[in-house]
């Protein structure tokens, strides 16, 4: 297996000094594709797929031609897959952003005793946002370094530049990720405050001076009062952004015919971020309920319309203490969202509110309410969007569970990668719930490369299947054999992880081959019209590790109607699992999945404890050695 040599791939012309993402060897990808799918599809189907893949990869065949074209592309692009990936993963996806696409970060529950407590929190948070933004603008954020597998490598910082400057513009067929280019004299920066489904412009810079916390508080108080005036309330236009992308694009094209609407849209599209001051939800604020409220805002008569989903960062501050961030995912990954959120929580803890000491600006211009002209057509769009959001709210089945049996420390003590172990546990759980394994997505960061985003670790390995089958047939197989199978599954998972983070996984590569054929207006290669390919990208299990060092957790919805979203946050002595699915699917149940997962994690722990006494490998470090050697220096030993 060829592994990237850092020096070989380094692009000397790139200021970040990071290497370019390599294009994996064609044959390696095709072999892995067959290996990844062979045990997930019926034998008959595999028999049809194998010759299709072989034909594609034959000498002088279509695969070789497309590979050559991809290699050429990689020479003149900083990252050969970036545009293809962005379109495929996000921009051409027509599903509504809430639940289906936008992950959320749930903050610790706050105890606001009064409205001024809430506004004080909001002013403090906005102060932190402005600080963080100036760090990004001044290129003063410390460079992130990889942790865990292949630790120590610097990571690409590009994604940070997009946190407060991007906007996802809906389009009839495909969206556009608009980026505001920073100029020498940036125009005044503003935040949009959503309150009671109304949108207000809060200038963060007035007369070249950044507003201090006291000023921000004063402005927020004024906004709150303006939002309370019932006669001035306008329809909840934000609901349109919660609709399918094509529907929202259509509604937007009607909306912009009016100049008032155009001006309002322009203010929202150019803002730094949104701060959504939510009404009390009226529900008990359990972890699960807070996750639900962040994901969709509750019913449309609650805070569902108090959002603008196209903007990457929406800080939600509920009067009942339910707080967090909703993130439009196309400009950056969850890890960047975590970094920003953690900075803010630390800022708020470490820098006491400066409301009392700061001198307020004498005459602050009043914040402005954004106006909308709603034609009957827009009213009809709003009714349709509200219905759709209501259905999404009813449909989402969420379970946030803190597994307290053990955490990553126990797993490390077994000399296993915690991430690989958790992935195997998720496979075990799926098997126990459904009696089979399915194509699984685990995000693997490729930020070691220029403009790197993610590739996929296909965790439903044949080795994982062998292990989960053995666990299911518990009486016939000895613990020592099961332990051996667990080691094999963990090794396979760790090996795939390393391939993925070094740019050698198969999903981006196959996507590149498919898209370059399209770009060259060639007939779609049979490999991509084959049923197996469609199955391979229907990710029934969509998983992601999003670890935090502050008390908070990330969650998201499933990516297919009959699937699960499973986000996990491993801590020293516990693991937070956020499992989502859709109630409309008869196949799935988040509660059942979580309950089963707890059992599977316990069984795996028992096995490890027994394995350590009965079937301890001669040297457990050696068990992982094949990987460790690749891991340490990034090249095959």
Contacting positions for ligand COA (CB under 6 A): 147-149, 333-335, 412, 415-419, 443-445, 454, 497, 501, 544-546, 624
Q: What are phi and psi of 411, to 5 degrees?
A: -70, -40
CB of 149 to ligand COA, least distance (A): 4
CA dist 249 to 243, 374, 446, Å?
9, 16, 32
Least separation, in Å, of the C-beta of 197 and ligand COA?
A: 29
Comparison of 47 and 147: residue with beta carbon closer to ligand COA = 147
Burial of 430 (0-12, 13-18, 19+ CB in 10 A): buried
Quick one: which of 593, 547, 546 has its CA closest to 572?
A: 547
Q: Is 509 one of the annotated active-site residues of the chain?
A: no
Could you write out the DSSP letters of every residue in 302-351?
Answer: TTTTS--TTSSEEEEEETTS-EEEEE--TT--HHHHHHHHHHHHHHHHHS
- The nearest distance, CB 57 to ligand COA, in angstroms, is 28
3-state secondary structure of 554: strand
Q: Which is nearer to ligand COA, 447 or 509 (CB)?
A: 447
Answer whether 570's CB lies under 8 Å from 554's CB: no
Nearest approach, Cβ of residue 81 and ligand COA (Å)? 15
Residue 626 burial (CB count, 10 A): 13
Catalytic residue among 329, 434, 538, 574: 329
Q: Which is nearer to ligand COA, 454 or 579 (CB)?
A: 454
Q: Which of 236/563 has CB closer to ligand COA?
A: 563
Contacts for 155 with CB less than 8 Å, ≥ 6 apart: 143, 144, 145, 146, 445, 447, 448, 452
Which is it for strands 176-179 and 313-318: parallel, antiparallel or unpaired?
unpaired
Structure tokens at 116: 């001024």
Query: CB-wise, 381 or 556, nearer to ligand COA?
Result: 556
Q: Which is nearer to ligand COA, 191 or 601 (CB)?
A: 601
Cβ closest to ligand COA, residue 332 vs residue 533? 332
Q: How far is the CB of 505 from ligand COA (least distance, A)?
A: 11
SS3 247: helix
Q: Which residues of 333-347 are buried (b: 16+ CB within 10 A; e: fewer)?
A: bbbbbbbbbebbbeb
Closest residue to ligand COA, based on beta-carbon distance? 148
Please identify, using beta-carbon distances, which residue of 125 and 335 lies nearer to ligand COA: 335
Give the whole-angstrom CA distance, residue 331 versus residue 328. Answer: 7
User: CA angle, corner 553, sides to 552 and 555, nearest 5?
Assistant: 155
Q: Are 205 and 211 in contact (CB under 8 A)?
A: yes
In angstroms, what CA-CA distances link 359 with 48, 125, 202, 220?
A: 75, 19, 19, 16
Q: How far is the CB of 148 from ligand COA (least distance, A)?
A: 2
- Please tell me what DSSP assigns to residue 439: -
Query: How far, in whole angstroms, is CA 403 from its chain's centroid?
Result: 22
Cα separation, 61 vs 527, in Å, equals 12
Shortest separation between residue 292's beta carbon and ligand COA, angstroms: 19
- Please, are residues 194 and 307 in contact by the beta-carbon 8 Å criterion? yes
Quote the tokens at residue 381.
Answer: 């769009």
Least Å distance, CB 146 to ligand COA, is 7
Count the alpha carbons within 13 Å of 547 in the hemisphere toward its beta carbon.
13
Looking at the Cβ atoms of 259 and 618, the one nearer to ligand COA is 618
Output the smallest distance, CB 623 to ligand COA, in A: 8
Q: Which is nearer to ligand COA, 197 or 443 (CB)?
A: 443
User: 538 vs 129, 458, 584, CA distance in Å?
Assistant: 37, 12, 17
Nearest approach in angstroms of CB 47 to ligand COA is 33
Which two tokens mark 178? 């608009």
Whole-angstrom distance, CA of residue 29 vs CA of residue 500:
12
State the alpha helices, DSSP H only, in 502-589: 507-519, 526-529, 531-536
Q: Active-site residues: which are they?
A: 329
């Amino acid at each position: 297996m060829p592994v990237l040599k850092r020096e070989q791939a380094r692009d000397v012309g790139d200021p970040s000094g990071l290497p370019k993402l390599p294009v994996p060897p064609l044959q390696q990808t095709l072999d892995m594709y067959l290996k990844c799918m062979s045990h997930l599809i019926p034998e008959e189907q595999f028999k049809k797929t194998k010759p299709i893949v072989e034909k594609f990869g034959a000498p002088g065949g279509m695969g070789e031609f497309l590979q050559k074209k991809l290699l050429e592309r990689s020479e003149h692009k900083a990252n050969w897959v970036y545009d293809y990936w962005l379109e495929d993963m996000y921009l051409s996806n027509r599903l509504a952003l809430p639940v289906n696409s936008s992950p959320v970060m749930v903050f610790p529950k706050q105890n606001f005793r009064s409205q001024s407590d809430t506004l004080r929190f909001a002013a403090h948070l906005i102060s932190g946002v402005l600080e963080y933004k100036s760090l990004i603008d001044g290129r003063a954020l410390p460079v992130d370094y990889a942790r865990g597998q292949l630790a120590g490598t610097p990571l690409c910082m590009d994604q940070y530049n997009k946190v407060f400057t991007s906007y996802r513009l809906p389009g009839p067929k495909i969206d556009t990720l608009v980026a505001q280019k920073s100029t020498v004299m940036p125009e005044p920066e503003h935040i949009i405050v959503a309150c009671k489904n109304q949108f207000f412009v809060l200038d963060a810079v007035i007369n070249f001076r950044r507003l201090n916390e006291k000023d921000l508080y004063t402005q927020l108080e004024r906004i709150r009062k303006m939002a309370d005036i019932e006669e001035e309330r306008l329809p909840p236009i934000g609901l349109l952004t919660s609709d399918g992308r094509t529907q929202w694009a259509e509604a937007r094209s009607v909306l912009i015919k009016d100049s008032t609407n155009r001006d309002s849209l322009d203010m929202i599209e150019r803002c730094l971020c949104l701060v959504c001051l939510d009404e009390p939800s009226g529900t008990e604020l359990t972890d699960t309920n807070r996750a639900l409220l962040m994901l969709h805002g509750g019913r449309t008569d609650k805070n569902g319309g108090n959002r603008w989903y196209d903007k990457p960062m929406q800080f939600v501050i509920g009067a009942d203490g339910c707080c967090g961030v909703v993130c439009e995912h196309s400009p950056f990954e969850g890890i960047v969202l975590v970094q920003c959120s953690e900075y803010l929580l630390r800022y708020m803890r470490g820098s006491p509110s400066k409301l009392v000491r700061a001198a307020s600006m004498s005459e602050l211009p009043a914040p402005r309410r954004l106006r909308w002209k709603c034609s009957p057509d827009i009213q009809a769009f709003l009714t349709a969007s509200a219905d759709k959001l209501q259905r999404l709210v009813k449909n989402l089945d969420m379970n946030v569970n803190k597994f307290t049996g053990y955490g990553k420390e126990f797993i490390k003590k077994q000399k296993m990668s915690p991430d690989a172990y958790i992935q195997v546990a998720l496979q075990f759980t799926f098997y126990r719930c459904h009696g089979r394994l399915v194509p699984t997505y685990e995000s693997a960061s490729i930020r070691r490369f220029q403009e790197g985003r993610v590739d996929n670790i296909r965790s439903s390995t044949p080795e994982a299947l062998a292990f989960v089958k053995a666990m299911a047939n518990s009486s016939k197989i000895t613990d020592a054999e099961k332990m051996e199978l667990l080691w094999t599954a963990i090794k396979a998972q760790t090996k795939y992880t390393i391939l993925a983070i070094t740019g050698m996984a198969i999903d981006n590569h196959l996507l590149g081959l498919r898209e370059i054929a399209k770009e060259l207006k060639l007939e779609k290669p049979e490999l991509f019209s084959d049923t197996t390919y469609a199955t391979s990208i229907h990710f029934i299990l969509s998983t992601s590790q999003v670890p935090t060092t502050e008390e908070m957790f990330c969650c998201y919805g499933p990516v297919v109607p009959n699937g699960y979203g499973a986000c996990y946050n491993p801590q020293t002595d516990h693991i937070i699992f956020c499992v989502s699915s859709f109630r409309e699917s008869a196949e799935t149940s988040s509660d059942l999945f979580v309950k089963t997962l707890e059992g599977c994690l316990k069984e795996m722990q028992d096995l490890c404890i027994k394995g350590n006494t009965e079937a301890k490998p001669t040297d457990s470090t050696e068990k992982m050695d094949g990987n460790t050697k690749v891991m340490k220096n990034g090249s095959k030993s």
